[in-house]
Structure 1
Amino acid sequence: MSTSRLFRGDFVHTPSLGSVEILRDYILRTNEKGYIDHFAPASLPESQSISAIRRPTLIPTGSFMVPTFCDLHLHAPQFMYQGTGLHLELMKWLDEYAFKAEEKLDGDLTLAEKVYTRLIQRLIMNGTGAVMLFGTIRTETNLLLARLAQEECPIRAFVGKLSMDISSRPTYVEATAEKSLAAAGDFCDRCIDMIRSLPEHMQLVEPVLTPRFVPTCSPALLSGLGGLSEQKHVRIQSHMAEAHDQVQCVREERGEEDMDVFLHSNLLTSRTVQAHCTFLSPEDLRRLAATGAAVAHCPLSNAYFSAEPFRLREALDAGVRVGLGTDIAGGYSIDIMDAMRHAVTVSRMREGARIRASANKERSRTDEDYGKPLFIDWKEALYLATRGGALALGLPEGCGTFAVGAPLDAQWSTGEGVGELDFFDLGDKLWDLTLDMVEKWWCLGTTQNRVGVWVQGTNVCWQAKGERPDEKSTSNSATDEG
């Protein structure tokens, strides 16, 4: 349960795309429910009065608070074989790795608990405070995942029970569309019942309707899930226009594009997050923006399984809500900092291709307007990982920023001499946090630079590490607010 927190130090956030604010020497206080009720410069009279009554935990020079990361796309059971099997095409990879792993966890809840506990611990240690999870087809396995995320290592988790009535693996499939729909509805009801008795601010877990993707779902199942989402007002997640072989499969079997199938099934709404979307044209992205659906951009797994990069700049310009995803295990890194870096790298490569095509007066699929740059920078990537992801997930008001009324979802990052962060030109001067220093953290920071992680005002690092705050030395100032 949260208790009131009080911090003094530097804070960094991205309230809008491309804008990074460094708020130096601020006082931040939360109430007992974990919501920020004071955030202002320490020099102001009200801040001084607050500090006079209670000693704040000091964020030392060289350290700062930044909002927690949002991971919009992760396959929880696939964490078991993270970093393997990436030599295959998508559809073959699903047969040889994904379905097997998911079926194995559905048949062994002890193993599932071990895998899922470690997964959530790893997420917290990497600064992720909110995550949208694909699960398996068995209800009990997904309820286990939801319980662990709510109780054992508290994290904002959107848990999806897979719906799939078509499969290349006969032992891993739901018998009919009707039974699949009934199971999806039952999971949603039981997941909601699990947290219903908790105070609203402590309800961190939500169910998500999760058609795996078009090739594994009959038209009846897809349209039924669309109706179920509208009836229960439950969120939706899936994969859309992901890979060349998958897109061709849908065209051959359904006679239309992925996006049209989802549209006809009422599965593209403001409650929807679609992963990948690499084969959407600029016009498709404008259509997608009109539906209100969001995109989970997974640059690392796209490099392995899609023949095209995602049109990120075009999506942002079209008004599509976009966040980042790790796509474990199609992507091998669970660290959203890697996803940010890969997003920038891919965008720079797209921009290089655009420049070359323009110079050679060639027509390129990368853009309709050769005069418009396609790259994003680190500031925009940090926005996608924090505020942008929070908006895409529909998190509580203010999430992804530091503002009065927002929950304290934050990570404490430390700098000089920790991990790979070295600064050689400070001399004896008092540390003054600059954009260059934040950029260096963005490029080189690791888990070594993370002192604490707070979700709804509670420091969840202790749960992630299997420790209690009083088991740590009080020489680490983060323990004062543990």
Structure 2
Amino acid sequence: MLYRGSFVHCPQLGQVDILNDHLLAVNEAGFIKHFEPSDSINSRRYLDTHLASQELIALEPGNFLLPTFCDLHLHAPQFLYQGNGLHLPLMKWLDEYAFKAEEELDSNPALAKKVYSGLANRLIEHGTGAVMLFGTIREETNLILAEVFLNAGLRGFIGKLSMDISTRPTYVENSAEESLVAIASFIGKLKAMTSQLPVHRRLVEPVVTPRFVPTCSNELLHGLGKYAREQCLRIQSHLAEAHDQVDWVRRERGAEDVEVFEKNNLLTPRTVQAHCTFLDSPSLCKIHDQQTTIAHCPLSNAYFSAEPFRLREALNIGVSVGLGTDVAGGYSIDIMNAMRQAVVVSRMREGARTMGNISSRVSLAIDWKEALYLATRGGAIGLGLPDGSGMFQVGAPFDAQHIELFKIEPARGIGSFDVFELELDGHGLSEDMVEKWWCLGDSRNRLATWVQGVKLAAIPVQE
């Protein structure tokens, strides 16, 4: 497949490259095999050689391709009640909403398939191509989740919950030993599900998932860390999220969250820790030294944490950071909203610094370019996606979304994107246009989404 037109990506934090009139070619395995300006000698030769045998998609003015978004933290079963219960503090919200919904899906496979199919379709609609997911306790329900995402063509990192402590007596694993046997069984079955596929089509992978310290005994955390290290597995959890949760860990374990995870070998280069709002500078340095990634979830932090995440401080010392929606702790599944909220929170922190309420010699704000990096390239790095993911370059997988801003004939904007003057004059897409889309765009601007070169389509949702 050949694509010609404008491409937008963020090779590094704060940099947005707008590449007008480029030619991109994708091979049968879904990797980019050519990417250069359309008028280059190599592009002309490539067209002469391949145009007769490959379809060419030519993007019209007002259109561009962008890497797909990465969501580093989402609770799949909580999609069932997305947008409810946000008036409660975290630990009470878990009791009254989260555990109940997860247990309901564990007892009803048909409902689980319906919820997960709807979730997959929403992610495609909103341009998310890769997502790290918390599941439930029961193995079968998590395998349903994995099968749905495999059929949808999305990159899904599936975490069967490990928890041998719970405030809900009917929703808990009986012991650390039972939990460790269960996670090994789940991982074996999920790997078997994809083992017959070519490596580049194994888009769904398992993740070791201790829910968080209050639901895991020390024995379980130790066992999960050991197993993840032996099997070279990804890890995800929640770290220093909310005031009541942090106090519980200090009281019951006599340590900080980050110390508990580190002691049990659960801070690794393959780990994504969500939230981290109560981490101070030394703790952020520890995260950096362990090469662990943080999933920044600004919307859910506003509801459940008494502190905003120290995003600028983390970025300044080189911590790997991506964005998460944290559905249903966050009510929006759209990473575009997470980008905007990350900027808003950072600007409020900068306002507090300006007023003397935060001690810092440097600005604490981030801008839209940095947020776009976190949603694409930064998230891809945090998830450990194939080399070059989150950018357009030769050898990278073609994970992309097609954005349409306006039509020239007749001149009109798409969705919330209004057009008053078209100043193309042969210069193509401008930075102002991309910024305007970043602020105002929505799913009406998204015409298509591809993962590993395959154009995604909505999957049937069983009624």
Bin of the TM-score, shorter chain as denominator length: over 0.9
Q: 1:119 matched to which residue of 2? A: 119
Deviation at 1:46, TM superposition (A): 2.1
Distance 2:393 2:428 in 1: 22
Q: 2:76 matched to which residue of 1? A: 76
1:25 aligned to 2:21?
yes
Return the letter of the residue paired with 1:423.
V
Return the letter of the residue paired with 1:404.
V
Q: TM-score, normalised by structure 1?
A: 0.92
Please list, as runs of the form range in 1=range in 2, the aligned pairs for 1:54-133 lying within 5 A after superposition.
54=51, 56-133=56-133
Distance 1:272 1:213 in 2: 13
Q: Give per-residue Cα distances to partners, 1:417-446, cap 9 Å, x unaligned.
A: 100111212268457211010000101110
Do the aligned residues in 2 keep the contact of 1:62 with 1:431 (CA within 8 Å)? no
Deviation at 1:464, TM superposition (A): 4.6
Q: Give per-residue Cα distances to partners, 1:421-479, cap 9 Å, x unaligned.
A: 1121226845721101000010111000001000000001x23588xxxxxxxxxxxxx
Q: 2:378 matched to which residue of 1? A: 388
Aligned residue-pair number? 451
Return the letter of the residue paired with 1:336.
I
Do the aligned residues in 2 keep the contact of 1:299 with 1:339 (CA within 8 Å)? yes
Distance 2:423 2:202 in 1: 47
SS at match of 2:47: helix
- Which of 45, 57, 60 aligns to 2:41? It is 45
Q: 1:476 matched to which residue of 2? A: none
Q: 1:469 matched to which residue of 2? A: none
Distance 1:122 1:301 in 2: 19
Q: 2:293 matched to which residue of 1? A: 294
Q: 2:138 matched to which residue of 1? A: 138
Judged with a 3 Å threshold, the aligned counterparts in structure 2 of structure 1 residues 107 and 134 are, in CA distance, closer, same or farther, namely: same
Deviation at 1:177, TM superposition (A): 0.3
Distance 1:57 1:211 in 2: 45
Do the aligned residues in 2 keep the contact of 1:8 with 1:26 (CA within 8 Å)? yes
Do the aligned residues in 2 keep the contact of 1:130 with 1:156 (CA within 8 Å)? yes
Judged with a 3 Å threshold, the aligned counterparts in structure 2 of structure 1 residues 464 and 15 are, in CA distance, closer, same or farther, namely: farther
Q: Give % identity.
A: 60
- Runs of 4 or more off by more than 6 Å in structure 1? none
Distance 1:413 1:282 in 2: 39
Do the aligned residues in 2 keep the contact of 1:323 with 1:389 (CA within 8 Å)? yes
Distance 1:119 1:29 in 2: 30
Return the letter of the residue paired with 1:263.
E
Distance 2:173 2:27 in 1: 46
Deviation at 1:47, TM superposition (A): 1.1
Do the aligned residues in 2 keep the contact of 1:73 with 1:133 (CA within 8 Å)? yes
**Deviating more after overlay: 324-333 vs 46-55:** 46-55
Q: Give per-residue Cα distances to partners, 1:49-105, cap 9 Å, x unaligned.
A: 332341621011000000000000000000000001000000000000000000000
Return the letter of the residue paired with 1:392.
G
Return the letter of the residue paired with 1:103.
E
SS at match of 1:98: helix
Return the letter of the residue paired with 2:337.
D
- Which of 376, 379, 402 aligns to 2:369? It is 379
Distance 2:337 2:142 in 1: 27
- Which of 7, 11, 35 aligns to 2:7? It is 11
Do the aligned residues in 1 keep the contact of 2:78 with 2:328 (CA within 8 Å)? yes
Unaligned runs of 5+ in 1: 358-363, 467-482
Distance 1:458 1:348 in 2: 38
Return the letter of the residue paired with 1:382.
L
Do the aligned residues in 2 keep the contact of 1:61 with 1:431 (CA within 8 Å)? no
Deviation at 1:282, TM superposition (A): 1.2
